[in-house]
Amino acid sequence: MIELATYEHKFAHLHCDRPGGRPRPHKAVMLLAVSLLAEADELTENRIEYNSRLLDVFRALFDVARQDTDKNTPYNPFFYLKSEGFWHICPTLEGADALPHRTTIGGPGELRRLVSFATLDTELFLLLHDSVARKSLQATLIQHYCNHVADQMWNTMHYEIQIETQKQKLLKEEAAAYETSTERVRSTAFRRMIREIYDVRCAACGVRFFFDDVDLIDAAHLIPFSQSKDDRPQNGIALCKNHHWLMDHAIIAPGPGRGLNYQQPIWHVRKGLDNRLEEHRPVLELKNKTVILPTQPRYAPTPESLDWRMARLSAS
């Protein structure tokens, strides 16, 4: 098999901080997260982006592997893995001149500004898509950096594969609703899917805010799952926490545009709000604004889901 022993050796000897002799798990967790994306068929090309998909998996694994002094800073391993020789970071236009001279990274904002994506050695990329080689590389990482929680890590990885597999089924419309073994898998798959297809952006106000890899965006069902049993992307919408609350309380609703145009939905606002009241104005400013839709039109809300929200708004 292509150079498997070589990469097992490299994975067993990552350059890590070692407080008290214990290696920090950050690089290992980042590599495990990438391996899971490959296992879930979400790494179809040799291009690793620092996006919500990768960060969601990283966080789930890091929460298991971390110890008292370990901080959840995924931007660090994404940048510093370049020192291992098999991980290559590709600059943005702005980073083209700066990156060759950089030995540190200031935070996730600077990483996004300077780094476009990362790639792996071609041999390693191919190994991660071979089930036997991938399992061996995962075992090497867990043994050397997460052995104190090995069983829990394997279990979490199993859950992550279930989540990502369910998400892919929904995106491919191979599933409509609850098809997984646990509520945790179902709800997490829906949340990740909606945030991804809306590019972690609120469909109402357009906010897309990150600070230390924390964002403000929720995934909301248009027709509640308890009623619809429908997790398809067309029954979801990404909203900031303010607009999620407003929609859930039937103060705003996405609905058809003028002339019952469901292809260009707009935001509707409950009657009774008063433009003379300062606290009402930010909500009223949303009235008749277009819904910010996913970049792929086939994931846009269905007429049925928009009608459900409009009926609830009218009844309030």
* Residue 254 bridge partners (DSSP): 267
Half-sphere exposure (Cβ direction) of 34: Cα atoms closer than 13 Å: 28
Burial of 265 (0-12, 13-18, 19+ CB in 10 A): buried
Average pLDDT over residues 290-313: 96
Query: Are 108 and 213 in contact, with CB atoms under 8 Å apart?
Result: yes
Average pLDDT over residues 151-175: 88
29 Cβ contact partners less than 8 Å away, ≥ 6 residues apart: 58, 61, 62, 65, 77, 145, 146
Query: Are 254 and 306 in contact, with CB atoms under 8 Å apart?
Result: yes
Question: Distance (Å, rounded) from C-alpha 36 to C-alpha 160?
Answer: 8
Residue 44, phi then psi, degrees to nearest 5? -80, -20
User: For 45-102, how does the pLDDT look when each residue is reduced to its tens digit (9 = 90+)?
Assistant: 999 999 999 999 999 999 999 988 999 999 999 999 999 999 999 999 999 988 888 8
pTM: 0.86
User: For 197-224, how does the pLDDT look when each residue is reduced to its tens digit (9 = 90+)?
Assistant: 999 999 999 988 766 667 889 999 999 9
Looking at the chain, the whole-number percentage of residues with pLDDT higher than 90 is 80
Burial of 71 (0-12, 13-18, 19+ CB in 10 A): exposed
Average pLDDT over residues 28-34: 98
Sequence spans of domains, the chain: 4-171, 199-315
